[in-house]
Amino acid sequence: MRPKVSIIAAISENGAIGKDNQLLWHIPGDMRRFKELTTGHVVIMGRKTYETIGKPLPNRTNIILTRDKNYSAPDCLVVPSLEEALEKAKEIENDEIFIMGGGEIYRQAIGKAHKLYLTLVHQNFEGDVFFPDHSQFKKEVFREEGESANGLKFTFLELEKLL
């Protein structure tokens, strides 16, 4: 069986996901959920996302996309295209492959994804990177409301494409 391709992201009401290569908020519950969902799986990210994190995510196969042919990162696979990343991921992963950003990688992957794991942050933020249109994901399979310690309200949402 082929693994499904999922996108995991946190987005604000106005679609912003980042500014100056940084996340726009800190929600510990979102970080816990991200870790729980992605541990033991392949994660695919762009070079800028990787460099923001600064190291490979533990207990996951990390694949980094970059056009820089000389780029290397310890304990990570580095590939030049999303297609190549997905090919490599399918050689390793049997269950679920997670696309974890950034904006350009999400744009390339949105048409290939089967499922979205979103954290919708109920506030507008100023950003320079935005999540792509995902209106084709209409089937809601999970929803949970939450609030962080600093009062930021959010919704965990899982969406699938209608077949």
Q: What is the pLDDT of residues 111-142, one digit of tens each?
A: 999 999 999 999 999 999 999 999 999 999 99
pLDDT of residue 162: 82
The Cα–Cα gap between 130 and 121 comes to 13
Domain count, the chain: 1
Q: What is the pLDDT of residues 19-70, one digit of tens each?
A: 999 999 999 999 999 999 999 999 999 999 999 999 999 999 999 999 999 9
Closest CA to 128 of 9, 18, 14: 18
pLDDT of residue 91: 97
CATH number at residue 118: 3.40.430.10
Q: pTM higher than 0.85 for the full model? A: yes
Residue 87 has pLDDT above 80, yes or no: yes
Domain that holds residue 102: 4-160
What is the separation of C-alpha 119 from the centre of its chain, rounded to a whole number of angstroms? 10
